[in-house]
Amino acid sequence: MTWDEVHELKRGGMEIGLLAYGGKGIKNHYDERAIKEDISASMEIVKSNLNSEIKFCAFKEGVPGESLWNFLQGLDFHAVFTQCPTYQQATPAGIGRIQIDDDDHNIFLTKISNIYLLFKDKRSWKYIRKYRIDRLTHRISETWNRIKRER
C-alpha cells in the first residue's frame, strides 16, 4: 500500500496498527533483539507518516516470551494480537484461534468441533494436510450441500 492509501483508510475511520517483525511468525526460537529493533523502527516510520499513536500490534503466529511481552507492554499498545495453539491456555499474551475462511456452514461446524480441535495442534495434523484429507472433507461437504439444494 502507498501512504496515500493508508491515509485514506485512516480518514475513513480505520485504525492502523503494526504487523510486527515484517509479518513473520515468532514460533519456537526467534531473534528477540531483531524483533525489538524491527518494532521500534517500524513504529517510528508509521508514527512519522501518520502523525498518530500506534495502538495495536500483531504477530502472524506465535506467542511472545516474557521478555518480549514486557517490551511490548512498555510500548503502551492497547492490544497485541497473536496466534497460539488452540490447546494452550488463553493468556493476555495469546489466545488460541482457528482460521475460518470458508463460507461453507458444514466446514464452519467442523472447525469449531471438539474433534477438530483435538487434531489441529497435534503431529497428526501434518499428515492430514499432507495427504489432503482436509480437502477431501471440503469436497464431501460441498457435494452434500449441492445434493441438499437439488432436493
- pLDDT tens-place string over residues 124-146: 777 877 888 877 877 888 888 88
CATH number of 1-97: 3.20.20.370
Mean pLDDT of the chain: 82
Report d(CA 73, CA 142) in Å as an integer: 45
| Termini Cα distance of the chain | 47
The pTM assigned to this predicted structure is: 0.61
Give the single-character DSSP code of 140: H
Please state whether 13 falls in left (phi above 0), alpha (psi between -120 and 50) or beta. left
Give the pLDDT score at 96. 60
CATH 3.20.20.370 in the chain, residue ranges: 1-97
Which amino acid is present at 39? I
51: its cell numbers? 502523525
